[in-house]
């Protein structure tokens, strides 16, 4: 069994609703469970160290296009688009729902991990008894429930299963989002190995077999970067200056005058 490494505390719920099984309802709150801890960089101007921003530029005349003149287009074939207004797209969005109906229960281990997308932590929402009953039952049976949820304008199939005395909801990928290996040219004529080769390979693998422990793995690139940043911080980091908006400039003139008057008092 893997050693427990202390994870981080979940943040505020991003969705509330309930899990429905038959006539039973379990109100739940959904928390984010995985976090991107990567180190991010911003682009700066090399000469003065100020942050750069992106602008939308028309590919025809190279002029900057303001936001109100931007629409969305779907590229049907190269350089041919069908254009959509925001209202048209909004009308097609699915409505968020408040219930995840579990239609079927499956053996958790029978699910190919390739379908597992993003896990979320489910917390009971004043429903401790029903929550505990559901998670304990699934744990004892080694089962996971399958349902469907609409969150943030997207509809997902989801899997609900027990994890460390809690329930986890993992969104699933659709088959069309996953590459089919049989389509890959190199995989079309793969030969079976000989029985001697196979026996030797199996021996090597079983000699190296052990328990899975995620703490054996560290993000060494991240560690190196963190050390580098610490080092640079001891030197002189470049401080970004906030540009003052045009309207705010007039306020600054008035402010200077008032500050002068207040000082006199």
Partner 1 sequence: MSQALTKVEFTNLDKVLYAKVGIKKTQVIEYYIRIAPKMLHLLAGRPLSLTRYPDGVDKQGFYEKDIPRGTPSWVETFKRYSETAQRDINYVVCNDLDTLLWLANLAALEMHMTLSTTDSFMKPNLVLVDLDPKPPLGYDDVVEVALLLKERLETPGLRPYVKTSGKKGLHIVIPIVPVYTFQQTREFVHQLGKRLAMESDIVAADFSRSRKAGKVFIDYLQNSHGRTMVCPYSLRATPSATVSMPLEWKQITKGFNPEEFNIATVPAIDSDPWKDLLQNSQKLE
Is residue 254 a contact point for partner 1 (CB under 8 A)? yes
Residues 6+ apart with CB under 8 A from 102: 19, 20, 21, 145, 146, 147, 160
Q: Closer to partner 1 at the Cβ: 112 or 247?
A: 247
In the complex, least distance from residue 249 CB atom to partner 1, rounded to whole angstroms = 8
From the list 52-60, 75-83, 92-100, 239-247, the region that binds partner 1 by CB under 8 A is 239-247
Distance, in Å, from the CA atom of 117 to the CA atom of 161, rounded to the nearest integer, reads 14
User: What is the size of the binding site for partner 1 (CB under 8 A)?
Assistant: 19
Residues 6+ apart with CB under 8 A from 64: 55, 56, 57, 58
Is residue 262 a contact point for partner 1 (CB under 8 A)? yes
In the complex, least distance from residue 61 CB atom to partner 1, rounded to whole angstroms = 28
Is residue 238 a contact point for partner 1 (CB under 8 A)? no
Taking residues 191 to 230 in sequence order and writing x for each that binds partner 1 by CB under 8 A, - otherwise, the string is ----------------------------------------
In the numeric block, which tokens belong to residue 169? 């909801």
- Radius of gyration of the CA atoms of the chain, in A: 28
In the numeric block, which tokens belong to residue 181? 């290996």
Contacting residue, 198, 200, 238, 244, with partner 1 by CB under 8 A? 244
In the complex, least distance from residue 239 CB atom to partner 1, rounded to whole angstroms = 9
The C-alpha angle 35, 40, 42, rounded to 5 degrees, equals 145
Distance, in Å, from the CA atom of 172 to the CA atom of 257, rounded to the nearest integer, reads 61
Is residue 48 a contact point for partner 1 (CB under 8 A)? no
Residues at the interface with partner 1 (CB under 8 A) = 241-242, 244-245, 247-252, 254-259, 261-262, 265
């Amino acid at each position: 069994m893997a050693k427990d490494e202390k994870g981080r505390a979940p943040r505020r719920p991003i969705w509330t609703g309930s899990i429905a099984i038959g006539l039973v309802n379990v109100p739940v709150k959904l928390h984010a469970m995985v976090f991107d801890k990567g180190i991010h960089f911003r682009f700066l101007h090399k000469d003065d160290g100020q942050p750069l921003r992106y602008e939308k530029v028309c590919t025809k005349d190279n002029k900057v296009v303001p936001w109100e003149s931007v629409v969305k287009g779907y590229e049907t074939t190269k350089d041919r688009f069908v254009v959509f207004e925001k209202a048209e797209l909004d009308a097609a969005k699915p409505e968020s729902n408040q219930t995840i109906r579990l239609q079927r229960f499956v053996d958790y281990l029978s699910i190919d991990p390739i379908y597992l997308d993003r896990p979320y932590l489910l917390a009971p929402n004043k429903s401790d008894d029903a929550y505990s009953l559901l998670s304990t039952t699934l744990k004892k049976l080694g089962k996971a429930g399958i349902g469907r949820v609409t969150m943030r304008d997207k509809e997902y199939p989801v899997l609900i299963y027990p994890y460390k005395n809690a329930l986890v909801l993992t969104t699933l990928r659709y088959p069309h989002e996953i590459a089919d290996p049989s389509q890959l040219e190199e995989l079309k004529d793969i030969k079976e190995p000989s029985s001697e080769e196979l026996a030797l390979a199996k021996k090597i693998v079983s000699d190296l077999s052990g328990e899975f422990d995620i703490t054996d793995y560290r993000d060494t690139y991240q560690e190196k970067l963190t050390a580098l940043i610490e080092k640079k911080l001891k030197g002189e980091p470049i401080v970004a200056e906030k540009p003052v908006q045009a309207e705010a400039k007039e306020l600054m003139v008035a402010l200077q005058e008032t500050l002068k008057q207040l000082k006199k008092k």
